[in-house]
Chain A
Amino acid sequence: MNIYIKGGRVIDPANNVDKVTDLFIREDKIISLDKAPNGFQAELTIDANNCVVCPGLVDMRARLREPGLENKGTIESETLAAAHGGVTTLCTPPDTDPIIDTPAVVDLIRHRVAEVGKCKVITLGALTVGLQGSQLSEIDHLKKAGCVGVTNAYCYISSAGVMRRAMEYVASLDMTLYIHAEDKELSENGCVHEGEISTRLGLAGIPECAETIAVSRDLMLIEKTGVRAHFCQLSTEQAVKMVARAQHDGLPVTADVTAHQLHLTEMDIGYFNSLCHVSPPLRNHRDLDGLRDAVGRGVVSAICSDHQPHDVDAKLAPFAQTESGISSIETLLPLALRLVDEKGLSLSDIIAKLTCGPANILGINAGTLGVSSPADVCVFDPESYWNVTEETFYSHGKNSPFIGWELKGQVTHTILDGEVVFQLKN
């Protein structure tokens, strides 16, 4: 579709653009900034006065629950939720059922997305067969099927020997390894941060060292093997410091944090609020400040949602028996934007963490408004306040601790390959 987005503040960190201007889309491509090309006829004009026009968001980690857990969410419902949140590309981890350890599952997801998807979906393949942590998957087959990287998701590879071989193999295929660093021996059966709250409530705690020891082991192995690696959802101040040092030393490592880790601490669990049951756990204020700092200094180059929709029953049990995770793709943008007010970061810096930052890590052509790039665009009103309620969620999962919060920044239009996939109703 030919779309004329008129008079918005265009922020495109990939090309250092931040100015009030017009944007022109022809078919599925961005064709011009500032001036209408010759003979351009708009089929749709979007008045973006007082709004920000930025690349469609790239969410590094969001679970769609299909295949396997359709009672929690489907590709149709969750990609629609993504569009509502301004996300045009999301990356889904391999812990579906069946697990993404064969090209067949990658194809299944691709076909389903082509049928009903409201955003682009890319996949990470399973590093080991069945995520069991012993036998490597056929990683090159997964790569050829379209996986942009491999990960063992939440299943920690406890054997350093297996991890070393895995890294060597992944490095020789020139792929990126995505690591969820949590030493399960140290986290045992923990469900919250080991600290004041775990002590008060008598819940089993997960100490920081479950993360820092895993990160430090893997950094040593990264140095040895030369693999390109990405640490997912770091939760501790110490871990981001270690990554910063490794980056300073020239290791090929990147990291992301989840938006909720930048705003919630263990204290938000209060008296057994299971909506705050997440993995890695919400930590303390020092960690929260450390993560915010790392975002500001660029150690962390992506903020992701780690969207995990659940059915109602998943959160209806005594705390430790509830399933972890937050339905978060629709609050990703406003939560990230809060750092503009609370941490003094520029709007452009924050948008970079949601667009070109993750796109660069994933190695995909997205997160930019450059001429002739795909017409994936997010238009949002940065000053619009809205109340988060269950009804505002398009996702099947209403499991959000932010319900009841007032957030600032609301998506008005999401454009995917030149088609409007979401438009705010007035």
Chain B
Amino acid sequence: MPLLRGKTIANLFFEASTRTRTTFELAAKRLSADVLNISISTSAAVKGESLLDMLRNLEAMQCDMFVVRHSESGAAHFIATHVAPHVSVINAGDGCHAHPTQAMLDMFTIRRHKKDFSDLRVAIVGDIKHSRVARSQIHALTTLGVAEVRVIAPKTLIPRQVQSLGVHVFHKMEEGLRDVDVVIMLRLQNERMQGAYLPGYHEYFQLFGLTSEKLSLAKPDAIVMHPGPINRGVEIDSAVADGKQSVILEQVANGIAVRMAIMSMALGRTPDAAASTKRERLL
């Protein structure tokens, strides 16, 4: 679908990422855009070039879109407020703040399985405090009007006043998973074992790891999701990750389609729009 032929998209990855970068790249290429992959840790940032200077340079090279992944919360917003108005900016994950395209592909995946959002109970399990994915999912789910969003984690991994985001807090899987329609597991970063957030992997898996036994508390047709990459035996048991309720690989596949849609819409080139400009030309 050559909707973005002649457009240049720069993938600005200030932070390591395999999955997100690859799916963005694939999505852009399937739309026939020219793609520039820039990993900043190996680029000018280490030479002391300021973020803004770098953006000005890329702007001057006639880029139409920046896909930004950054370790600081608010980085994509900062970039969007300082680039020229014709440049689109897509947030591919900023610090602990947001990962909107991930949340959108998750919603797409849920919709394919569950149709109506208004009756759904969704549990998000794991490191809510440091998770941009969880924040964007909560934002999306509450916007779509689900019946209930639950977050399940020990207090160390629950951010202060998280209730203000519209969620219910649980500290026990056995209580939080009861009768839910969707279980979203979050990746546990290695760093959390330092700094007194958690005592160790073994205890974490026992308390918060998703096993078939714990999953049986959810609705029989509940689906299991994970933004990847998975830590098998830490947050999720392999039997569940590869089991029939898991839609984890489907999420990855949907990621490409959803990102294609987001990119073409942001650049104003949806199939409908393309068709109508073609019609206008014919007339």
Docked Cα-Cα span, A207 to B129, in Å, equals 14
Is A156 interfacial (CB 8 A cutoff)?
no
**Residues 190-202 of chain A, each 1 if its beta carbon lies under 8 Å from chain B, else 0:** 0000111011111
Among B94-102, B233-241, B247-255, B271-279, the stretch in contact with A: B94-102
Chain A residues lying within 8 Å of B52, measured Cβ to Cβ, are 316
Decide yes or no whether B187 CB sits under 8 A from chain A.
Answer: no
A404 at interface (Cβ–Cβ under 8 A)? no
Query: A301-342: contact bitstring with B at CB < 8 Å (1 yes, 0 no)?
Result: 000000000000100111111000000000000000000000
Instruction: Answer whether residue A272 sits at the interface, using C-beta atoms and an 8 A cutoff.
Output: yes
Given contacts A202-B132, A272-B77, contact A319 B72 (CB under 8 A): yes
Alpha-carbon distance A205/B129, docked complex (angstroms): 11
- Per-residue 0/1 for B86-105: is the Cβ within 8 Å of any A Cβ (1 yes, 0 no)? 00000000111110000000
**B36 at the A interface (CB under 8 A):** no
Question: A203–B96 contact, CB under 8 A?
Answer: yes
Q: Give Cα distance in the complex from A201 to B94, angstroms.
A: 10
Q: Which B residues are in CB contact (< 8 Å) with A318?
A: 51, 70, 72-75, 78, 94-95
A318 to B162, CA, bound (A): 23
B161-191 vs A: 1/0 string, CB under 8 Å? 1101100000000000000000000000000
A201 to B95, CA, bound (A): 9
A317 and B51 alpha carbons, distance in the complex (Å): 8
CB distance from B71 to the nearest CB of A (A): 9
A196, A202, A207, A272: the one contacting B96 at CB < 8 Å is A202
- Closest A residue to B159 by beta carbon equals A199
- Cβ < 8 Å to B, chain A residues 168-220: 194-196, 198-205, 207
Chain B nearest CB: distance from A354 CB in Å? 35
Checking B51, B78, B164 against A199 with a beta-carbon cut-off of 8 angstroms, the contacting residue is B164
B167 to chain A, nearest CB (A): 10
Q: Indicate whether B143 reaches chain A with its CB closer than 8 angstroms.
A: no
Which chain B residues lie closer than 8 Å to A321 at the CB level? 72
Q: A317 contacts B78, CB within 8 Å?
A: yes
Q: Which residues of A contact B72 (CB under 8 A)?
A: 317-321
Q: Are A202 and B73 in contact (CB under 8 A)?
A: yes
Residue from B50, B70, B75 with most neighbouring chain A CB atoms (10 Å) = B75
Q: Which residues of B contact A199 (CB under 8 A)?
A: 159-162, 164-165
> Are B160 and A201 closer than 8 Å at their CB atoms?
no
* A8 vs chain B, min Cβ distance (A): 46
Chain A residue nearest in CB terms to B162? A199
Query: In whole angstroms, how far apart are the Cα atoms of A321 and B167 in the complex?
Result: 30
A405: Cβ under 8 A from any B Cβ = no
Given contacts A196-B161, A202-B73, A320-B72, contact A272 B98 (CB under 8 A): no
In the complex formed, the residue of B with least CB distance to A205 is B160
Q: Which chain B residues lie closer than 8 Å to A272 at the CB level?
A: 73-74, 77-78
Residues of A within 8 A of B50 (CB): 313, 316
Q: Which residues of A contact B73 (CB under 8 A)?
A: 201-203, 272, 318-320
Q: How far is the CB of B163 from chain A (nearest CB, A)?
A: 9
Inter-chain contact A196/B135, CB cutoff 8 Å: no
Q: Which residues of A contact B159 (CB under 8 A)?
A: 198-199, 205
- Residues in B whose Cβ lies below 8 Å from that of A203: 73-74, 95-97
A271 to B159, CA, bound (A): 18
- Name the prevailing secondary structure of the B interface residues: mixed
Closest residue of chain A to B51, judged by CB?
A317
Do B164 and A196 touch across chains, with their CB atoms under 8 A apart? yes
CA–CA, A317 to B162, complex, Å?
26
Partner of B165, one of A200, A271, A320: A200
Q: Give the nearest-CB partner of B72 in chain A.
A: A318
Closest to B132 in A: A202
> B-facing mask of A266-281, CB < 8 A → 1, else 0?
0000011000000000
Q: Report which residue of A202, A203, A205 has the largest number of chain B beta carbons within 10 angstroms of its beta carbon.
A: A202
A125 to B262, CA, bound (A): 57
Q: In the complex, which residues of chain A have a beta carbon less than 8 angstroms from the beta carbon of B97?
A: 201-203
Q: Which residue of A lies closest to B130 (CB)?
A: A202
Contact partner of A271 among B77, B96, B160, B161, CB < 8 A?
B77
Of all chain B residues, the one with the shortest Cβ separation from A207 is B160
Question: Within the complex, what minimum Cβ distance (angstroms) separates B126 from chain A?
Answer: 15
- Minimal beta-carbon separation of A205 from chain B (angstroms): 6
Q: Given the complex of chains A and B, what is the CA–CA distance between A316 and B74 in angstroms?
A: 12
CB of B98 within 8 A of CB of A202, answer yes
Assembled-state Cα–Cα distance A271/B165 (Å): 15
CB distance from B97 to the nearest CB of A (A): 4
Among B78, B96, B161, the residue within 8 A (CB) of A195 is B161
When distances are taken between beta carbons in the complex, the residues of chain A under 8 Å from B70 are 318
Q: Is the CB of A198 within 8 A of B160?
A: yes
- Please measure, in the bound complex, the distance between the C-alpha atom of A271 and the C-alpha atom of B132, giving whole angstroms: 15
The answer to whether B161 touches A202 (Cβ under 8 A) is no
Closest CB in chain B relative to A286 CB, distance in Å: 13
Per the bound structure, the CA–CA distance linking A181 and B119 in Å amounts to 49
Complex Cα spacing A37 to B50, Å:
63
**Which chain A residue has the least Cβ–Cβ distance from B76?**
A318
Find chain A residues with CB under 8 A from B162 CB.
199
CB distance from A321 to the nearest CB of B (A): 6
Q: Within the assembled complex, what's the spacing in Å between the Cα atoms of A316 and B53?
A: 11
B132/A194 in contact, CB under 8 A: no
Task: Using CB atoms and an 8 Å cutoff, list the residues of chain B in contact with chain A.
Answer: 50-52, 70, 72-75, 77-78, 82, 94-98, 132, 135, 159-162, 164-165
Beyond the given A271-B77, A318-B70, A321-B72, please list 9 additional residue pairs across the A-B interface where CB-CB is below 8 A: A196-B160, A199-B159, A203-B74, A271-B74, A316-B82, A317-B78, A318-B51, A318-B73, A318-B74
Give the 7 A-B CB pairs with smallest separation, nearest first: A202-B96, A202-B97, A318-B72, A272-B74, A199-B159, A318-B75, A202-B73
> Would you mind naming 19 contact pairs between A and B with Cβ atoms under 8 Å apart?
A194-B160, A199-B161, A200-B165, A201-B73, A201-B74, A202-B94, A203-B74, A203-B97, A204-B96, A205-B159, A205-B160, A271-B77, A272-B77, A272-B78, A318-B73, A318-B75, A318-B94, A319-B73, A319-B74
